Amino acid sequence: MLKPVFMTLLFLFFFTATAMAARPAIVQDVRYSYNNGTVRLVVDVTDYVDFREIYVENPSRLVVDIQNATLSSKVKKELPIENPTAKRVRVGQFDKTTVRVVIETIAEIKTFILEGGPAGYRLVIDVIGTPTVSGAPPSHVETKPSTVTKPSNSEEHEALQKERERQERLEKERKAKEEKERQEKLEKERKEQLEKERERKAKEERERKAKEEKERQEKLEKERKAKAEKERKAKEERERKAKEEKEREHKNTHSTHSTTTYPSTHNPHSSEVDKDIESLTTLKGKIIAIDPGHGGNDAGAIGPSGVMEKTVTLNVALELEKLLKAEGATVIMTRRTDKTVSPAGAKASAIEELQARCDIANKAKADIFISIHADSFTNPTARGTTGYYYSQTEGQSAIRLADCIRKALCEQIKTPSRGTKPCNFYVVRNTDMAATLIELAFISNPEEESIMNSVEGVLKCAQGIFDGIEDYFG
């Protein structure tokens, strides 16, 4: 049976129209007709209207509320229908904006709006049904989901219904709000989780990078220490050898001849022949042209630590000059300072600059010409000493000069020999005497660069060339 709170309620339909007229529609007429067991009520209205239907019990009746409508005074308030399906029909202005039609019936009702008719629109209420015993509901009414018991007046019913709707709406809104809050909370939690995860990953990444950097620094430090240790040992070894050599030299060197303060590793004389030294020396009266490669605006090759070829060649040439003069040779230097040789200076072309060097040697009618250079290559491991002579040279003198100097140099500075080779270099091609261009070592090789940049290395280079010259004239 029925729950008491809904006693007055049968059931409720809403029909919501798509649009609602702003001004009230006027109900101009309510009429009815019979057709094959169906009673058709027609409500003539001037505009499209919204309406709602409410079933109310005891007596069973359908209430149709026409929204936003006013009732014309011409309309009859009661229609005397006498039919088993529909008994009485009452029409009235329920409130300011609602016209109410009440049909006492137990039959099935179909309500709908049609366009047309004398007022413009028709609200049609079809009361369909087989005639039944009055007061006994037909079977299809019983199947409807609402319940019926005690009577109630329509105002009470309306109020209850409205309250129920209000409660339902509030409940719906409350649930929707709760659901929204729940979703927002979940979303917030999800975002917080993501943010935490992101921070965790970023921290891990930072730590990983810091660790890598630390390891890298440690490795570099280790390598640096190993290198310093290696260099220290190499230096010790060099110093030890130099000391040994000095001691040996000191025993061998005659004391009266040399004006140089530098030691000589090659000296054929002994103290017994000191008094005859000038007549014995092989270099007395020889004119020797020395050409320190590059100079001035032309630095030549530059080593990995910045040592310039032009500096090395000049340092070696100046030391060589001392050695040669000490042995009575006449030395012709193409330059004795850091400058270009051509009077045109920096403006001189490469050929003009090289020709100026040849001119000096040719004019002096030098016996030999030695152009001093340092080698360079893109691969820093390239190393060694090379002697060059002009490829078209006739006779053996130039080849022999190049070979003697290259050989003696290798002995002095302990570089691997790269051989004595023919070439087409300008200065050896355009000098009239036996000429050689000597590549001391590779300035592009860090080790050889440091040899050529040291006082000791420069002395040894000079000594090597000097030894070669003596060998050549000997």
Token pair for 72: 């014309």
For Zn ion, the closer CB: 121 or 426: 426
For Zn ion, the closer CB: 50 or 449: 449
- What is d(CA 26, CA 13) in angstroms, rounded to the nearest whole number? 23
Shortest approach of Zn ion to residue 373 CB, angstroms? 3
- What is d(CA 430, CA 371) in angstroms, rounded to the nearest whole number? 12
For Zn ion, the closer CB: 119 or 302: 302
Q: Which stretch binds Zn ion (CB under 5 A): 17-25, 125-133, 200-208, 298-306?
A: 298-306
Residue 406 near Zn ion by CB under 5 A? no
Shortest approach of Zn ion to residue 437 CB, angstroms? 8
Question: Is 292:462 a contact under the CB 8 Å cutoff?
Answer: no
Go through the chain and tell me how many residues it has. 474
Which x/- pattern over 231-250 shows residues binding Zn ion (rule: CB under 5 A)?
--------------------
For Zn ion, the closer CB: 68 or 444: 444
Shortest approach of Zn ion to residue 277 CB, angstroms? 36
Quickly count: other Cβ atoms within 10 Å of residue 423's Cβ: 16
Shortest approach of Zn ion to residue 261 CB, angstroms? 29
For Zn ion, the closer CB: 373 or 418: 373
Q: Which stretch binds Zn ion (CB under 5 A): 14-22, 185-193, 200-208, 295-303?
A: 295-303
Q: Which residues contact 5 (CB under 8 A, 6 or more apart)?
A: 160
Shortest approach of Zn ion to residue 404 CB, angstroms? 21
Q: Residue 101 belongs to what H/E stretch?
A: strand 98-105
- What is d(CA 300, CA 169) in angstroms, rounded to the nearest whole number? 96
Shortest approach of Zn ion to residue 308 CB, angstroms? 11
Residue 293 near Zn ion by CB under 5 A? yes
Question: Is 258:268 a contact under the CB 8 Å cutoff?
Answer: no
Q: Which stretch binds Zn ion (CB under 5 A): 216-224, 297-305, 322-330, 386-394?
A: 297-305
Shortest approach of Zn ion to residue 379 CB, angstroms? 18
Q: Which stretch binds Zn ion (CB under 5 A): 53-61, 158-166, 274-282, 294-302?
A: 294-302
Which residue is at the shortest CB distance from Zn ion?
373
Shortest approach of Zn ion to residue 361 CB, angstroms? 17
Shortest approach of Zn ion to residue 393 CB, angstroms? 20
Q: Which stretch binds Zn ion (CB under 5 A): 177-185, 202-210, 224-232, 372-380?
A: 372-380
Q: Which stretch binds Zn ion (CB under 5 A): 19-27, 228-236, 287-295, 444-452?
A: 287-295
Token pair for 11: 């059931």
Residue 300 near Zn ion by CB under 5 A? yes
Question: Is 39:83 a contact under the CB 8 Å cutoff?
Answer: yes
Mark out the alpha helices in 253-286 (DSSP H runs).
277-280
Which residue has 């040849």 as its token pair?
358
# binding residues, Zn ion (CB under 5 A): 3
Residue 373 near Zn ion by CB under 5 A? yes
For Zn ion, the closer CB: 141 or 413: 413
Under DSSP, the state recorded for 22 is S
Q: Which stretch binds Zn ion (CB under 5 A): 131-139, 154-162, 212-220, 285-293?
A: 285-293
Shortest approach of Zn ion to residue 444 CB, angstroms? 12
For Zn ion, the closer CB: 265 or 315: 315
**DSSP string covering 401-459, please?**
HHHHHHHHHHHHH-PPEEEEEEE--HHHHS-SSEEEEEEEEETTSHHHHHHHTSHHHHH
Query: Which of 333, 338, 372, 376 has its CA nearest to residue 356?
Result: 333
Query: Using H for helix, E for strand and C for coil, what is the string for 59-92?
Result: CCEEEEEEECEEECCCCCCEECCCCCCEEEEEEE
301: Cα within 13 Å, side-chain hemisphere: 21
The span from the first CA to the last CA of the chain, in angstroms, equals 144
Shortest approach of Zn ion to residue 442 CB, angstroms? 11
Q: Which stretch binds Zn ion (CB under 5 A): 14-22, 43-51, 215-223, 289-297?
A: 289-297
Query: Which of 435, 432, 434, 452 has its CA nearest to residue 443?
Result: 452
Distances (CA, A) of 208 to 63, 197, 202, 381: 79, 16, 10, 36
For Zn ion, the closer CB: 100 or 373: 373
Residue 303 near Zn ion by CB under 5 A? no
For Zn ion, the closer CB: 183 or 305: 305
Under DSSP, the state recorded for 317 is H
Q: Which stretch binds Zn ion (CB under 5 A): 135-143, 299-307, 416-424, 453-461?
A: 299-307
Q: Which residues contact 319 (CB under 8 A, 6 or more apart)?
A: 262, 458, 459, 461, 462
Shortest approach of Zn ion to residue 309 CB, angstroms? 5
Residue 387 near Zn ion by CB under 5 A? no
Q: Residue 291 belongs to what H/E stretch?
A: strand 287-292
For Zn ion, the closer CB: 100 or 294: 294
Q: Interface with Zn ion by CB under 5 A: which residues?
A: 293, 300, 373
